[in-house]
Each structure stands twice: as structure tokens, then as C-alpha cells.
Chain A
């Protein structure tokens, strides 16, 4: 596993979860969309990592260049996640940057710091126009950095 030397937990994302988020971002064009990353923190040989197993679409207030969670929908989404993913937790969020690349804007950083304060929670930014995606985290100083990650797929025939 990489990344822990810098205090950043590596992220593994199941391909199906990533594709689900990308499809949401494509369907939302030309607007930005937003959603939650669902998964688990896991430990192996005293090292922590994050596994993302699903995504949940979030209702949002959006324009072509701006998106934020619809605050009235947050409790609803939290309940849905509790019902459908009782063994998982929200390990971050995703949103799209249609056509202007993957980075964290000042608004994104503010949203992340406010809504996702735990060190293992990450932001996935997807540009469905350029076909790019990157994971980020925000530190206590309000700076952001990329997160080492890998895309994995469950072997066929293996049920969870």
C-alpha cells in the first residue's frame, strides 16, 4: 500500500462504484452533480486503507460551475445509506467538473472541510467531458492534495 508515509490513507475503489459515479456525472451534463462515496475503513498489518464499494446520488443545488448538497435532502440520504448499507459508512463524496478538469475549488474545499471532517474522508472529482477523475483530501490548513488510489473489481462469481 502506498501513501501512508505521508499520512494519507490509500483508497481502493470498486470499478462498479466508479462507473456508477461517472454515469451520474455524464447524465448530469452540462451541470455539475454531487453524490456520496460509501465504503469502509479497513486495516491490514497495522496499516489503514479505505475501500469504496458503492456511490449514492445526492440531491443538489447546481449550475454549470457550482454544486452543493441540497441541505434538506441530507437527512433523507443519510437514512437511505443507513438502510441500504448498514455495514458501511460515508467515506467521502464525489462531484463533477464538466469540462474544466479535476481540482478542488475554494468552494469544494469549504464543503469538504465542513461536511467531511474525518481524516479518511476523500473527495472524488470527475470531469465527464475530458474523461478524467482524481481523488483528493483536504488537510487542516485548508490545503488539498491528491490521494493515492487504485481501481479494483470483484472477481466474477464471487458474491459478497
Chain B
């Protein structure tokens, strides 16, 4: 087995958590129970469908 050594030591950048402003929060799993992907993917498909309709 090969150890991946691509983790380079670097200064850790300061930045607020990506939950507002430039980002929007889509789903959270703070308790570690996992994600239901069907919810996420159907949401994406709905948006894609809406975008196609608007076009």
C-alpha cells in the first residue's frame, strides 16, 4: 500500500464557514446519521427542469 503524501504543509487560510453570502446551505448532517441522496438529487433535477422551462 502506498501512502499518499500529497497533503502539503501550508498555512491554513482564514475564512468563515460556507453557509451564507457566497454559499447557501443545502443539507446538514451534524449528527452523523448520513444523507438521503434521493432528496438531494431530486432537488437538483427539479431545479434543472425549472431552468429548462425558463429557457
Which A residues are in CB contact (< 8 Å) with B25? 150-152
User: Which secondary structure dominates chain B's binding surface?
Assistant: loop
Q: Which residue of A lies closest to B4 (CB)?
A: A115
With both chains docked as a complex, state the minimum distance between the C-beta of A4 and any C-beta of chain B, in angstroms: 11
B interface, CB within 8 angstroms of A:
1-8, 10, 12-19, 21-38, 40-41, 44
Task: Contact check, B26 vs A133: say whether CB atoms are below 8 A apart.
Answer: no
Task: Encode contact with B along A67-107: 1 for CB under 8 Å, 0 otherwise.
Answer: 01101001000100110000001100000000000100000
Task: Contact check, B32 vs A147: say whether CB atoms are below 8 A apart.
Answer: yes
Which B residues are in CB contact (< 8 Å) with A151? 25-28, 35, 40
Pull 6 A–B residue pairs with CB atoms less than 8 Å apart, ordered by A: A42-B12, A44-B17, A89-B7, A128-B37, A146-B31, A148-B29
Please report the number of residue pairs spanning A and B whose Cβ atoms sit closer than 8 angstroms. 130
Which A residues are in CB contact (< 8 Å) with B2? 69, 71, 74, 115
**Given contact pairs A89-B6, A151-B35, A155-B22, a sample of 11 additional A-B residue pairs in the complex whose CB atoms are under 8 Å apart:** A15-B26, A44-B14, A44-B16, A78-B4, A89-B7, A114-B3, A131-B37, A132-B35, A149-B30, A151-B25, A155-B24
Tell me, in angstroms, the Cα distance from A44 to B7 when the chains sit together.
21
Task: Encode contact with B along A114-130: 1 for CB under 8 Å, 0 otherwise.
Answer: 11111001000010100
With both chains docked as a complex, state the minimum distance between the C-beta of B46 and any C-beta of chain A, in angstroms: 13
